[in-house]
Amino acid sequence: MINIDGYNKLDPEMDIAFFALYEGFLTNITANIDKLVAEYFPAFEKAATAYFAKRPISNPVQEQFLNNLTPIWLTLRSIDRLGPAQRFWENVLSLIQNLESHFNIRIHKGSIFYYWGGTAILNGELEKGYSLMHSALIEDAVTNKMPQPNTPAYRFVFLDYNDPRQHFFDILSAQGQILETFLSHYETLSSTSLDRTNFRNKFLASHPRPEAILLLAYTVARIEKQFQNPAPAPDNAFAGILDFNLLFDLVLVVDSSIQAKSNVGWEFFNLARHLSDTAGLDLVQARLEYINSEQKRLGKFANVVIALLDRSFQMPGGEHLSPLASDIAIAYCIRNHAAHNIVVQSLVPEHTRQLMQSLFNTLFLTVDTLY
């Protein structure tokens, strides 16, 4: 019999079924995963059905059962077989759903979605991975009877990059470094005491609208992936559209975060004004109205945003906005324009990094001022 570290003994028959499954998979780790599943899962599912027929399917029992499946996943992950590792969890989910149907009972599936989702993210499948992670969080919330359970999925989705116990800590650590890079530049523009740790405690872990943090986590993951790829050609229009979608999602995080701490309604014009007023900045109503009229003029959107970005945009009297007021104005222009247009390519990809920093400046200012 092979030795498996951390195995939770169940009962003799179930233990035999587990070790037969281990032996079949771990002695053929480069084989086709679907072939291995077809060969070994029927007998394993039969043993599992008999095992659960003898005892109530309580949370500790089902947790031990599912944790005993992780050695196969860990082995596939360790040799970078991320596609088969996902297929493994997909088949485990099907097995558990069969057991749920057989016993007419709910079985907690949070760990399945968590391991599967994290593996998809490691494989570069961000939309799939974050959707699965959200499913894990929903499962955890139902099982624990609380909306924000202290589980690995919750800590992953809400960017707890200070938790080394996390199976996917490397992902979160890299994302934390990205946030810290943007934050360090923001510190040069303000007298903030905001740092990586209190940004998490003050904002990420306590946001009144969790969906905003979900979107931020997904957006930071996309930024990390973009940083790893070669820079696209300046005239790559499709890359520009993708970049702008990313920037727009950052603006939506800002939008939701200001809304959650204000009573000025949903229009971003009013939200931008509220942030500027509360922060004591110089983006007064007349100035924002002028920016709005300029960026609406035919062909002026990109010109206005780029001028705000390089701090050269002039008001009718020749004065310039302060840097952080300019960043709020950029967020406003993007929010207003992107809701109605496919963006002109002259903005991105050439200006994407600067625009990211500008929008993060606005987000950090929101946290500094309103949280």
225's tokens: 């992936």
Which helix (H) or strand (E) segment holds residue 35: the answer is helix 33-53
Q: How confident is the model at residue 208 (pLDDT cuts 50, 70, 90)?
A: confident
For residue range 52-78, list pLDDT tens digits in order. 998 877 777 788 899 999 999 999 999
pLDDT of 85 over the 90 cut:
yes
- Measure the CA–CA gap between 78 and 53, rounded to whole angstroms: 34
208's tokens: 């009144």
Q: How confident is the model at residue 193 (pLDDT cuts 50, 70, 90)?
A: confident
What was the pLDDT predicted at 341? 60
- Model confidence, pTM: 0.87
Domains in the chain with CATH codes: 12-170 (1.25.40), 173-370 (no CATH)
Q: How confident is the model at residue 330 (pLDDT cuts 50, 70, 90)?
A: very high
154's tokens: 């919750």
Beta bridge partners of 320: 314
What was the pLDDT predicted at 139? 94
What was the pLDDT predicted at 77? 94
Q: How far is CA 41 from the centre of its chain?
A: 33
Q: How confident is the model at residue 239 (pLDDT cuts 50, 70, 90)?
A: confident
Q: How confident is the model at residue 354 (pLDDT cuts 50, 70, 90)?
A: very high
Q: How confident is the model at residue 347 (pLDDT cuts 50, 70, 90)?
A: low
> In sequence order, which residues have a C-beta less than 8 Å from that of residue 132 and are 6 or more positions away?
113, 114, 116, 117, 120
Closest CA to 108 of 121, 120, 119, 92: 92
Give the single-character DSSP code of 4.
-
Q: How confident is the model at residue 345 (pLDDT cuts 50, 70, 90)?
A: low
44's tokens: 């394993």
Closest CA to 208 of 138, 134, 158: 158
Give the single-character DSSP code of 314.
B
Instruction: Give the helix, strand, coil percentages of the chain, each rounded to 5.
Output: 70, 0, 30
Task: DSSP for 354-369, please give it.
Answer: HHHHHHHHHHHHHHHH
For residue range 152-182, list pLDDT tens digits in order. 999 998 888 888 888 999 999 999 899 999 9
300 burial level (CB within 10 Å; 0-12, 13-18, 19+): middle
Average pLDDT over residues 313-329: 95
What's the 3-state SS for 109-142?
Answer: CHHHHHHHHHHHHHCCCHHHHHHHHHHHHHHHHH
What was the pLDDT predicted at 232? 67
Angle at 67 between CA 63 and CA 68, to 5 degrees: 120
pLDDT of 238 over the 90 cut:
no
For residue range 299-308, list pLDDT tens digits in order. 688 889 999 9
Q: How confident is the model at residue 235 (pLDDT cuts 50, 70, 90)?
A: low
Angstrom distances, CA of residue 47 to CA of 10, 16, 41: 12, 9, 10
What was the pLDDT predicted at 340? 59
pLDDT of 244 over the 70 cut:
yes
Peptide bond into 12 cis (omega under 30): no
The full length of the chain comes to: 371
What was the pLDDT predicted at 358? 98
pLDDT of 187 over the 80 cut:
yes
For residue range 7-49, list pLDDT tens digits in order. 889 999 999 999 999 999 888 888 889 999 999 999 999 999 9
Q: How far is CA 250 from the centre of its chain?
A: 12
Angle at 323 between CA 322 and CA 324, to 5 degrees: 95
29's tokens: 């780790």
- Measure the CA–CA gap between 360 and 344, rounded to whole angstroms: 22
What was the pLDDT predicted at 241? 80
Peptide bond into 349 cis (omega under 30): yes
User: Within 10 Å of residue 55's Cβ, how many Cβ atoms?
Assistant: 10
Beta bridge partners of 314: 320
What was the pLDDT predicted at 342? 59
- Measure the CA–CA gap between 12 and 285, rounded to whole angstroms: 74
Average pLDDT over residues 311-326: 94
- Measure the CA–CA gap between 209 and 159, rounded to whole angstroms: 15
User: Within 10 Å of residue 101's Cβ, how many Cβ atoms?
Assistant: 9
Which helix (H) or strand (E) segment holds residue 233: the answer is none
What was the pLDDT predicted at 228? 80
